[in-house]
Amino acid sequence: MIKVLFFASFRERVGRAQGMIETSENLTVAEVWARAAAGTPLPQNTLVAVNLEYASLDQVVRNGDEVAFFPPVTGG
Amino acid sequence: MIKVLFFASFRERVGRAQGMIETSENLTVAEVWARAAAGTPLPQNTLVAVNLEYASLDQVVRNGDEVAFFPPVTGG
Amino acid sequence: MTVLLREVGFDPCEEFSTYQNEVLGQRGKYGAAISFVGTMRDFNEGHKVQAMTLEHYPGMTEKQLGQICAEAERQWEILDALIVHRVGMVKPNEPIVLVAVWSAHRAAAFDACRFLIEALKTRAPFWKKEQLHETTRWVEHNTPVN
Amino acid sequence: MTVLLREVGFDPCEEFSTYQNEVLGQRGKYGAAISFVGTMRDFNEGHKVQAMTLEHYPGMTEKQLGQICAEAERQWEILDALIVHRVGMVKPNEPIVLVAVWSAHRAAAFDACRFLIEALKTRAPFWKKEQLHETTRWVEHNTPVN
All residues at 6 or more sequence positions from D71 whose CB lies less than 8 Å from its CB, including other chains: D115, D119
Q: Which backbone phi and psi does C5 adopt, to 5 degrees?
A: -105, 130
* C42, C131 Cβ separation under 8 angstroms: no
Q: Do chains B and D touch (3 or more CB pairs under 8 A)?
A: yes
> How many angstroms separate the most distant Cα atoms in chain C?
53
Which chain D residue's Cα is nearest to B68? D57
Q: What are phi and psi of A40, to 5 degrees?
A: -70, 130
Supply the range of the domain harboring residue A44.
Answer: 2-70
Instruction: Name residue D48's beta-bridge partners.
Output: D43
**For residues B35-64, average pLDDT:** 96
pLDDT of residue C29: 83
B21 is a domain residue: yes
Helix (H) or strand (E) holding B56: none
**A53-55 and C126-131 beta bridge pairing:** unpaired
C103: amino acid identity, one letter: S
Domain count for chain B = 1
Residue C63 neighbours by CB distance under 10 Å: 17
Which of D29, D34, D41 has its CB closest to that of C36? Answer: D34
pLDDT attached to residue D141: 86
Chains C and A touch (3+ CB pairs under 8 A): yes
- Domain holding B6: CATH number? 3.10.20.30
pLDDT number for residue C19:
95
**Residue in B closest to D114 by C-alpha:** B76
Beta carbons of D146 and C107 less than 8 Å apart: yes
Q: In this complex, which chains have at least 3 CB pairs below 8 Å with chain D?
A: B, C
Distance, C-alpha D112 to centroid of its chain: 13
Is A76 part of any domain? no
Cα D98 from chain centroid (whole Å): 4
Alpha-carbon gap, residue D39 to D12, rounded angstroms: 10
Q: How many residues does chain B have?
A: 76
pTM for the predicted model, two decimal places = 0.94
What percentage of chain C has pLDDT greater than the value 90? 83
Residues B23-48, mean pLDDT to the nearest whole number: 95
Contacts of A58 (CB under 8 A, 6+ apart): A28, A29, A30
Q: Read off the pLDDT of residues D117-140 as tens digits, 9 standing for 90 and up.
A: 999 999 999 999 999 999 999 999
> At what angle are helices D60-75 and D106-123 packed, to 10 degrees?
150
User: Is A75 a member of any domain?
Assistant: no
pLDDT score, position D145:
62
pLDDT of residue C26: 63
Cα–Cα distance, A28 to C99 (Å, whole number): 36
Residue C146 has pLDDT above 70, yes or no: no
Identify whether the C-beta of residue D97 lies closer than 8 Å to the C-beta of residue D85.
yes
- DSSP letter for B73, please: P
Nearest to A8 among C97, C117, C138 (CB): C138
Task: Give the pLDDT confidence of D57-106 residue by residue, as tens digits.
Answer: 999 999 999 999 999 999 999 999 999 999 999 999 999 999 999 999 99
A47 belongs to a structural domain: yes
Task: Please give the pLDDT value at position D26.
Answer: 63
3-class secondary structure, D66: helix
Check if A43 contacts C (Cβ < 8 Å). no
Task: Map residue D133 onto helix, strand or coil.
Answer: coil
CB contact, 8 Å: C58 with chain A? no
All residues of chain A having their beta carbon less than 8 Å from the beta carbon of residue C38 are 76
pLDDT at position C52 is 96
For the segment D3-48, what is each residue's pLDDT rounded down to a tens digit?
Answer: 999 999 999 999 999 999 888 866 668 899 999 999 999 888 888 9
What pLDDT is recorded for position A17? Answer: 97
pLDDT at A11 over 60: yes
**CB distance B10 to B24 below 8 Å:** no
How many residues make up chain A in this entry? Answer: 76
Q: Return the minimum-mean-pLDDT range out of A21-25, B5-9, C74-78, D128-132.
A: A21-25
Interface check for D85 against chain B (CB to CB < 8 A): the answer is yes
A39 φ/ψ angles, rounded to the nearest 5 degrees = 85, -10
Please report the sign of the dihedral spanned by the C-alpha atoms of residue A18, residue A13, residue C141, residue D25: negative
* B14, B59, D111, D118 from B54: Cα distances, Å: 20, 10, 25, 17
d(CA A12, CA C137) in angstroms, rounded, equals 12
Cβ within 8 Å, pair D142-B76: yes
CB distance from D39 to chain B under 8 Å?
no
Angstrom distance (rounded) from CA A19 to CA B48? 73
What confidence category does residue C24 fall into, taking pLDDT thresholds of 50, 70 and 90? Answer: confident
- Could you tell me if residue C140 is left (phi over 0), alpha (psi between -120 and 50 degrees) or otherwise beta? alpha
Provide the terminal-to-terminal Cα distance of chain D, rounded to the nearest Å.
Answer: 27
Q: Is the pLDDT of residue A58 over 70?
A: yes
Q: What percent of chain A has pLDDT over 70?
A: 100
What 3-state class would DSSP assign to C14?
A: helix
Facing residues of C48 across strands? C43
Does the beta-carbon distance from A75 to C127 stay under 8 Å?
yes
CA dihedral of residues C57, C72, D33, C52 (deg, nearest 10): -10
Q: What is the dihedral sign for C-alpha B22, B28, B33, B38? A: negative
Q: What is the pLDDT of residue D6?
A: 98
Distance CA A49, CA A72 (A): 12
Model pLDDT, residue B38: 87
Share above pLDDT 70 across residues of chain C, in percent, rounded to a whole number = 95
Disruptive mutation site among A12, A46, A52, A70 for chain C (greatest number of C CBs within 10 Å): A52
CA distance D19 to D9: 17
> Mean pLDDT in chain D?
94
Characterize the bridge pairing of strands C47-48 and C51-56.
Answer: unpaired
Give the residue-averaged pLDDT of B52-63.
97
Does domain D2-138 bear CATH number 3.40.50.300?
Answer: no
Residues B32 and B2 sit within 8 Å (Cβ to Cβ): yes
Q: Cα–Cα–Cα angle for B75, C102, D76, nearest 5°?
A: 60
Does D28 sit within 8 Å of C41, measured CB to CB? yes
Q: Contact C16/D13, CB-based, under 8 Å?
A: yes
Maximum CA extent, chain A: 40
